[in-house]
């Protein structure tokens, strides 16, 4: 259960691409592997099983060569409107792990991504709330809201570039 007083992270961004395309690059493995990582990290291999109960398991490499892994376990898949998933850090085998740099980070974050049509553009809203978190984990999450904005800004810049390349290739 999610506590009603748990901190919530929300970021909204408008993309210069149609909603169907933005949804596709969030739900097709070939696309996710090209943009889904914070700026400065290199995406590694990934697997995707897009269905309730399925998962997206992915790796990233830091500039110093360290690997970080994560996974999403899907709860809802509503094309092309919404994805709901539980996001966590992982190991290469898909097991649940702690954040590699923040021992008090919540083990799981309930995330929702919505895609709204804006007349040829797409308004994307991403929210995240700690799931089954201790008070210390909730406080750590709340203290990191600014850093999450910065991290997602870098990820969304990579998404912008990927969308532009994809649209250019289609013309």
> Residues 12-57: pLDDT tens digits?
999 999 999 999 999 999 899 888 877 788 888 899 999 999 999 9
Q: Average pLDDT of 62-82?
A: 96
- Does residue 60 lie within any of the structural domains? yes
CATH number for the domain that contains residue 96:
3.30.530.20
Please give the Cα distance from 171 to 167 (Å, whole number).
Answer: 7
**What is the pLDDT of the chain when averaged over all its residues?**
92
Note whether residue 3 is domain-resident.
no
Q: What is the pLDDT of residue 4?
A: 56
Assigned domain for 164 exists: yes
**Residue 96 pairs with which residues in a beta bridge?**
90
Rounded to an integer, what distance in angstroms lies between the CA atom of residue 139 and that of residue 56?
Answer: 27
3-class SS at 159?
A: helix
pLDDT the model gives residue 3: 46
Could you tell me the CA-to-CA distances from 9 to 85, 127, 135 in Å, in that order?
A: 14, 5, 16
Number of structural domains the chain divides into: 1
Q: Which domain holds residue 152?
A: 9-170
Residue 1 forms part of a structural domain: no
Instruction: Please report whether residue 4 resides in a domain.
Output: no
- Model pTM? 0.92
């Amino acid at each position: 259960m999610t506590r009603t007083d748990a901190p919530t992270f929300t970021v909204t961004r408008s993309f210069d691409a149609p909603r169907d395309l933005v949804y596709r690059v969030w739900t097709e493995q070939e696309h996710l592997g090209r943009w889904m990582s914070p700026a400065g990290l290199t995406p590694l291999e990934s697997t995707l099983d897009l269905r309730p109960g399925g998962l997206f398991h992915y790796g990233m490499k830091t500039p110093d060569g360290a690997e970080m892994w994560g996974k999403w376990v899907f709860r809802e898949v509503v094309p092309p409107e919404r994805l709901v998933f539980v996001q966590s850090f992982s190991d290469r085998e898909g097991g649940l792990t702690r954040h590699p740099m923040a021992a008090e980070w919540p083990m799981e974050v309930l995330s929702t991504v919505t895609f709204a049509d804006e007349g040829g553009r797409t308004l994307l809203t991403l929210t995240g709330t700690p799931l089954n978190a201790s008070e210390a984990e909730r406080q750590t999450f709340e203290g990191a809201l600014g850093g999450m904005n910065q991290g997602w800004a870098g990820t969304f810049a990579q998404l912008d570039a990927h969308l532009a390349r994809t649209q250019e290739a289609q013309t």
